[in-house]
Amino acid sequence: MRIVSARLILTASAVALAMLLSMTTRPPVAYGQAAHIRWDIATFSSQPLTIGAGGADSARAEDNSGITLTGSGTFVAPAGGAGRSSAVTGGGTWETFDKMGIPTGDSGTYQVTGLVRWDEAPGTFPGADTIAPAGTARAGLVVLRIRYSDGEEGVLTVSCAIFESPPTIFEGITATKGYVDYWNRIPGFTIFHTLR
């Protein structure tokens, strides 16, 4: 009986040790990691196929008045995309226009103050990339809280569809400024890049 008990204890110990070693030698699971992302309102050239920084995108309000924004920045999204974050940088310029497209005289800068949500989408960019290393370009949708230089606050939505992205994704931006919702985007160019 002592031999059976000793064998049982030895077997159980070996199994426990094997399980412990297998748990400590596994690589970390990527699903639980935060996303470190750069966003850009971009420039685009089709000949040759090139994406770059320094673009401008526009959107229109209900009465057809508009806003044009430039900008770039970074954010750290909590694992899974959901959840707010203040780990943000960036901003750009803004200018508003009346319904005839004439500048209203209101313009300035804006600063990103927080991340509302980030969702990465399928897609690839096969061309030249002057912003970040090849292979780091991403499609997706980000919603950012912003503060305008005139004291108003709002939300900037940046949406990027690249090659092989689903047709449900739009390319460009929408924005709010105070109580005005510039919801009707004018197609422009945006891009995301993974930083690490």
pLDDT for 90-117, tens place per residue?
A: 999 999 999 999 999 999 999 999 999 9
Residue 129 belongs to some domain of the structure: yes
Q: Using an 8 Å Cβ cutoff, are 91 and 146 in contact?
A: yes
Q: Dig out the tokens for 82 from the structure.
A: 């959901």
Residue 189 belongs to some domain of the structure: yes
Residue pLDDT, tens place only, 16-41: 433 333 333 323 334 457 889 999 99
Q: Dig out the tokens for 95 from the structure.
A: 């200018």
What domain range is 114 assigned to?
33-194
Q: Using an 8 Å Cβ cutoff, are 187 and 172 in contact?
A: yes
Residue 6 belongs to some domain of the structure: no
Number of domains in the chain: 1
Contacts of 29 (CB under 8 A, 6+ apart): none
pTM: 0.81
Residue 159 belongs to some domain of the structure: yes
Number of neighbours of residue 78 by Cβ within 10 angstroms: 16
Residue 72 belongs to some domain of the structure: yes
pLDDT at res. 32: 55
Q: Which of 90, 73, 91, 86 is nearest to 37 (CA)?
A: 73
